[in-house]
Structure 1
Amino acid sequence: MKREILYALPFILLLFVSMSNETLLIDHDDKKQFLVTDYGAVPDGTTLNTKAIQKAIDAAHKRKKGGKVVFTKGKFLSGSIELKSNVTLFFEEGAVLLGSTNPTDYKKMDFEGRPVSPKKDDNSQMALILAHKANNIKLAGKGIIDGQGLELALKIDSLHHAGITIDPNYNVKRHRPNETMRPKLFRFSQCNNVEVRDLKVGEAACWGLSFELCNNLVIDGLTVVNRSYWNNDGMDITDSKNVRITNCNINSADDGICLKSYYPGYANDSIYIANNVIRSSASAIKFGSASYGGFKNVTIENIQVFDTFRSALAFESVDGAVIENINVNNVVAKNTGNAFFIRLGHRDGEKSGVVKNISIKNVKVEVPFGRPDIDYDLRGPEVNYFHNPFASSIAGIPGHHIENVSLENIEISYPGRASKSMAYIPLSRLAQVPEEVKGYPEFTMFGELPAYGLYVRHASGISMKNIKLTLQNEDFRPAFVFDDVKGIIANEIELPKSSKGQFILKDTEKIELDVESSNLIEKY
């Protein structure tokens, strides 16, 4: 009998652990419920429920174990509400939280205790849902959070023109109030243990979901449609650690998933972005342009990109940030203006940043001849010159190289049709490509590029393996231009047939090129 009990003991312990875990999950998911309707909220889409919703949140927060604030079926109109520790906002199927279209219903949170940022007032501190130093918070359910951003932004614009609420930074050229005057959908700062799951969210007057200096953040299963107005990023992650963004479908009039760094000495660190579908009138996944601290240990995999005007992938350090240890795997981009853009500049900050150790593999991209985002109502601004379709680029600045970039299993289809009558730069004048050391980082920043496939300047340690470039029509430019590059290893390169040079080398050394014909290599 004792032996039987001894043999059964491990299974008993396993059963006990399983029951314990199940109990913990039940405790987490079945928190005491606080229905917003019990606190006076009216789901008619017209009654302003800000105070009633906040009362429900405050009541759940005061409870020792926290609670679940529930939005039942109906439309709940609200201004800014503040989410607090140990509170879940749960939206039942058919529940809709509508952002007020009255600008005075939004408050600006001070977010005291943050580190000093050179650009601390560069983006809006207002939002429909705010959280500051809140821990163990969650938003989930099958409902909708709709910022009603177009109507809200137009009212903000009208107040400016009426002289009631003046925007000192009003964008006269594009006839719109600055983003600092327009509320976001979410604005979370210095929060720990945050989950946002399964909701349909978006239509803000500014950025969609904004998380700053947060730790342990999970964003999963969201549908994000944020294309009501200008500066409509899908989601922005600023100097946060241990972040997972998975299984989301994002459609945004500005950058889809944007990592930013506003604080020197801080960084986005340990970021996992996977299994997302992204459409954007700007870039799909972007680091920057705010880039003061860093972007470290980031994994991006299993991403689908569609109808995106700018870059499928953009990594930008222009304010002193360190970008390092970035791994990209399995990206398919159809109808996008640019495959990838890697940039080290010196726009701001005390010293130039660092960009190193980037691996991009298993990527397939289709670049069209026309605008990829033509079906957007609000599109990215046109470039200021006639141009040919742009190559991918890896571009540092004089004296500061981008280091150790590995490209493997990359296939990019280009439209060709480039014309020498469109901003032609001959290979004998490669120095004519501007440096733009202080320029705003964008794949079009250099104007016409002298390569159709990949342009590399001021870089060290470039490795390329199994690279296939195709042209739908002829292009007079070569496939590759390397200018001031130290260390190139290229194997298994497949290009359209050509009788002229396809690897252009200028001030380049330590070269290992596995090329069938030597006439494909030209030095300048």
Structure 2
Amino acid sequence: MNSRLIATLCALLIGYLSLNAKNIRLTEQEATLNGRHLCTDYIQSALDKCSRSGGGVVTLSPGRYLTGTLYLRNHVELHLERGAYLLGDVHVTDKNIYPKQALIYAEDIEDAGISGQGTIDGQSNTEGFLSQGFRVNDNKRPNGLFFYRCKNISFSDFNILNAGNWTFRLQECDGVRINGIFLKSLAQGNNDGIDVDARNVVISNCILETDDDGICLKSDNLDFMPENITVSNCVIASNCNPIKFGTASCAGFRNVSISNCVIRRTTESNIWHWEERYDDLPKGVLTGLSGIAIESADGGCIEHVVINNITMEGVITPIFICLNRRSGGNKGIIRDIHISNITATCEGNIPSIISGIPDRYISDITLQNIHVEHHGGKEAMTSRLREALTSYPENRMFGRLNPAAGLFVRHAKNIKVEGLSVTMRHADKRPTVVADDVNVMTLRDLTSRNILGEPVQNIESTGITLDHKDIR
């Protein structure tokens, strides 16, 4: 067979596949009766058929579609028109309904995604779901979306609500675009927003409201490094940590840019009552924990991170950077972190924290133009802050009190702070900044209001300067 004939046959085959790539439109009337009966098989059949024919778009027209686990397939876009509701069945422990622990699951697919202005609703806020008595960390509830080892996938414009567990999980994916989604999950513990264990990821123009962490970078596989990730122009509300790296941090994270985001309060909290675990919080306050949390607790390396232009309210601690060994395992690395142009109105009195471990310093951190406001009204501490080298990393891990009013730095080196402004709503007797076992920290343009303590306290540190003057 000559080369010209082979080329002709290949062209005909490609043309045949293109002509037979099917766009399929599903209607509520064909599927079931108004979301009261399962139509999993009906929708799955369309997804499978579309993929087998070469790919295309499966569209859900307006209506209510009750379903268990759906498997998204290669080269298929699931499109939800405005008024289309994909509803998760509440019998979430039934393996016949949820063979995978997700409402929509995909594994090893490529060139696929979800789009449209319809809604995916896990119904975890309904009586049928709530009456089953699930608990935080029980691992019995399905995620909303779970994409595993997928490539070149996109998500745009849809609403995703009331997941049973994590709302949107990406694990070991490569090439992900998320744009313009609205996400709200507040009914269950572990209701994270977007969990990113992936590389080459762009997240933009999203609105999220979550009971657990908002946008959370995770690293569960030592041999897979989440990297090349951007997050921009998002509004995030969380009852835990709106922007978080970790806690899962086996390989770590690198080459991450987060910019132009707003952090706000949630509208409700059904799981947490933080006034019971923190001082100086009014009863019933809606607040998250750390606005920006960067944690290496499993031996991973976090490096080359830029965070810029973030405003936040409804948090306790603006910035929390922690290196420890929660399981007593390998020592991680945190270095080359640049955080700038942050405005934070905070609850309570736990300040920004940078804390490493005695034999593995956090290094090369720059904080620039950071403006924060706290409750204040605290006395100066007379004892040194306790260590918590194997604890679960959280802003309260060192206790309810902190020796610094605005910034506490420990077991760190090469720290640069420029333009830090700290305001207390009530007169506070603590130092504005405390350096404890720090090797070289340069501070410039430090300002404080309603703080009666000294600007900088040096505890067994070297190379600490404020406006070019040594602090001993």
TM-superposed CA distance for 1:36, in Å, is 2.8
TM-superposed CA distance for 1:284, in Å, is 0.4
What amino acid is the match of 2:362? Answer: I
Q: How does 1:40-189 map to 2 (within 5 A)?
A: 40-42=30-32, 44-64=34-54, 66-103=55-92, 104=94, 105-109=96-100, 126-151=101-126, 153-154=129-130, 156-157=132-133, 176=135, 178-189=137-148
Correspondence for 2:359: 399
Taking the aligned partners of 2:66 and 2:34, their CA distance within structure 1 comes to 8
Correspondence for 1:36: 26
Taking the aligned partners of 1:222 and 1:196, their CA distance within structure 2 comes to 8
Q: How does 1:283-322 map to 2 (within 5 A)?
A: 283-307=241-265, 308-322=287-301
Is 1:481 aligned with 2:434? yes
Contact 2:431 2:451 in 1 (8 A): no
Is 1:339 aligned with 2:297? no
- Structure 1 residues 222, 499: closer, same or farther in 2, change over 3 A? closer
Taking the aligned partners of 2:288 and 2:229, their CA distance within structure 1 comes to 25
Contact 1:225 1:252 in 2 (8 A): yes
Aligned residue pairs total: 430
- Structure 1 residues 31, 341: closer, same or farther in 2, change over 3 A? farther
SS at 1:45's partner residue?
Answer: coil
User: Percent identity over the alignment?
Assistant: 33
Correspondence for 2:381: 425
Correspondence for 1:251: 209
Taking the aligned partners of 1:442 and 1:335, their CA distance within structure 2 comes to 16
Is 1:212 aligned with 2:157? no
TM-superposed CA distance for 1:39, in Å, is 10
Query: TM-score under structure 1 normalisation?
Result: 0.79
Taking the aligned partners of 1:90 and 1:499, their CA distance within structure 2 comes to 59
- Unaligned stretches of 5+ residues in structure 1: 1-26, 110-125, 158-174, 370-388
Q: How does 1:412-451 map to 2 (within 5 A)?
A: 412-418=372-378, 420=379, 425-426=381-382, 429-430=383-384, 433-447=385-399, 448-451=401-404
TM-superposed CA distance for 1:511, in Å, is 2.5
Taking the aligned partners of 2:302 and 2:132, their CA distance within structure 1 comes to 37
> Deviation per CA, 1:455-488, whole angstroms, max 9, x where unpaired?
0000001001111111221012111110010111
CA RMSD, aligned part only?
A: 2.1
Correspondence for 1:224: 183
Of Structure 1 and Structure 2, which has the larger fraction of its residues in strand?
2
- Structure 1 residues 474, 332: closer, same or farther in 2, change over 3 A? same
TM-superposed CA distance for 1:102, in Å, is 1.6
SS at 1:181's partner residue?
Answer: coil
What amino acid is the match of 1:49? Answer: C
SS at 1:474's partner residue?
Answer: strand
- Unaligned stretches of 5+ residues in structure 2: 1-16, 266-286
Bigger shift: residues 85-94 or 507-516: 507-516
SS at 1:180's partner residue?
Answer: coil
- Structure 1 residues 500, 78: closer, same or farther in 2, change over 3 A? closer
TM-superposed CA distance for 1:398, in Å, is 1.0
SS at 1:437's partner residue?
Answer: coil
Correspondence for 1:269: 227
Runs of 4+ in structure 1 deviating by more than 6 angstroms, as ranges, are none
Contact 1:43 1:74 in 2 (8 A): no
- Structure 1 residues 253, 177: closer, same or farther in 2, change over 3 A? closer
Correspondence for 2:274: none
TM-superposed CA distance for 1:31, in Å, is 6.6
Taking the aligned partners of 1:258 and 1:177, their CA distance within structure 2 comes to 17
- Structure 1 residues 471, 36: closer, same or farther in 2, change over 3 A? same
TM-superposed CA distance for 1:416, in Å, is 1.1
Taking the aligned partners of 1:74 and 1:132, their CA distance within structure 2 comes to 28
Correspondence for 2:279: none
SS at 1:54's partner residue?
Answer: helix
Taking the aligned partners of 2:82 and 2:129, their CA distance within structure 1 comes to 28
What amino acid is the match of 1:107? Answer: Y
> Deviation per CA, 1:133-163, whole angstroms, max 9, x where unpaired?
0111110011011000134643543xxxxxx
TM-superposed CA distance for 1:199, in Å, is 0.5
Query: TM-score under structure 2 normalisation?
Result: 0.87
Taking the aligned partners of 1:511 and 1:204, their CA distance within structure 2 comes to 48
TM-superposed CA distance for 1:179, in Å, is 3.9
